[in-house]
Structure 1
Amino acid sequence: MAQLLELSTFSSDSGNLTVFEKIIPGAIKRAFYIYGADDCVRAGHRHHKTWNALICLNGSCRVYVNDGQTDEHIWLDKPHKCLILEPKDWHFMDNFSEGSILLVLSNEVYDKADYIYEKYENA
């Protein structure tokens, strides 16, 4: 099931430094960000092999996750919160606040064949 982590953050008079390392298996092979999605629903899939890490760098969004047994809604509303999605986690994002920026880091490059769009029975 998806796991919400609090990333290590170091604060000083000159600002904050948040570190992302050793969080998903393997190396980060793909990074992308979603913005301007204020009234949209994004994703609606799971993967065969890709792990994703989601961090809302600005603003907030809600992530629905279902692993075939459990489902839940998770809010990403601070840049030190990181949601780890395993390949089995069917998910979508919605309720993007105005000006939100959602960063996604993946351990695989884009491969259309890796996407599974069918929902679990209880999704």
Structure 2
Amino acid sequence: MAHLINIPTFSDDRGNLTVLDEVIPFDIKRLFYIYGVDSSARGGHRHHKTVQAAICIKGSCTIVNNDGTKTESFEMDCPHKCLILETQDWHVMKNFSPDAILLVLASTSFDATDYIFDPYPNS
């Protein structure tokens, strides 16, 4: 089931430092970021093997998740908030602010056969 974790952030007069060390619950094999999104939705899938961690490092977006039993909506609006998406989590990213940058860390390298595009019947 998708869940939020807080990433340790250290702040002082010079600014903020957010540290990912030992916070992400998997070894990172791939990372990518999504930005410049118009009114389109992104995602619309789940995975056979891949676990992901999504962090909106600038701006905001909404991630709607369905794990097969319930649907939840997560507002990603600060860079120390991280959403862990498990393999069963069919998710859609939407409502990107014009300045949004969504960083995604993945537990596997890209594999087109890992994607499941069909939503759960109760979606």
Q: Which category describes the TM-score, using the shorter chain as reference length?
A: over 0.9
What do the CA deviations read for 1:56-115 (whole angstroms, capped 9, x no partner)? Answer: 011000000000001111100000000000011000100000111000000100000000
Q: Which residue of 1 aligns with 2:74?
A: 74
TM-score where L is the length of structure 1: 0.96
Distance in 2 of aligned mates of 1:21 and 1:66: 28
TM-score where L is the length of structure 2: 0.96
TM-superposed deviation, 1:15: 1.0
| Range 78-87 or range 6-15, more displaced | 6-15
TM-superposed deviation, 1:39: 1.0
Distance in 2 of aligned mates of 1:92 and 1:103: 15
TM-superposed deviation, 1:121: 1.1
Q: 2:89 matched to 1:94?
A: no
CA contact (8 A) 1:55 1:102 kept: yes
What do the CA deviations read for 1:4-35 (whole angstroms, capped 9, x no partner)? Answer: 1111111111111111133222x211000000
CA contact (8 A) 1:9 1:16 kept: yes
| Range 13-22 or range 102-111, more displaced | 13-22
Unmatched 5+ stretches in structure 1: none
Distance in 2 of aligned mates of 1:18 and 1:51: 21
Distance in 1 of aligned mates of 2:38 and 2:11: 30
Structure-to-structure mapping, 1:20-35, within 5 angstroms: 20-22=20-22, 23-25=24-26, 27-35=27-35
**Between the two proteins, what is the percent identity of the paired residues?**
55
Q: Which residue of 1 aligns with 2:56?
A: 56
Moved over 2 A (4+): none
